[in-house]
Structure 1
Amino acid sequence: MKDEEPHFFKVPVFVNRPSVSAVFWPFALLFFLSGVLMNQ
């Protein structure tokens, strides 16, 4: 599985960093909420 999906294996390690997740999740939530509001 590691050889078939190397990119998928790297994502959790990158997101689990406190500094990265603290910046990534707020933007992810804003992007998700903005997409929902635009669809309505």
Structure 2
Amino acid sequence: MADAMSTYAITIGIFVFLVGVLFATRAKRGHSPEAHEGHSESG
């Protein structure tokens, strides 16, 4: 059971990390007004 939980946690960690990198890259690359539609709270 511990093995399955470890794999699950690692998978989620990698997924979250990839999503974070994707968002960071998009924020850096897409500096257009269109990309700022849902980024109003990011001053």
TM range (shorter): 0.5 to 0.7
**CA RMSD of the aligned region, Å?**
0.8
Q: Percent identity between the aligned chains?
A: 25
Match of 1:39 in 2: 24
Q: State the TM-score, normalized to the length of structure 2.
A: 0.50
Larger Rg: 2
Q: How many residues matched? A: 24
Aligned residue identity for 1:26 = T
Structure 1 gaps, min length 5: 1-16
Structure 2 gaps, min length 5: 26-43
Q: State the TM-score, normalized to the length of structure 1.
A: 0.53
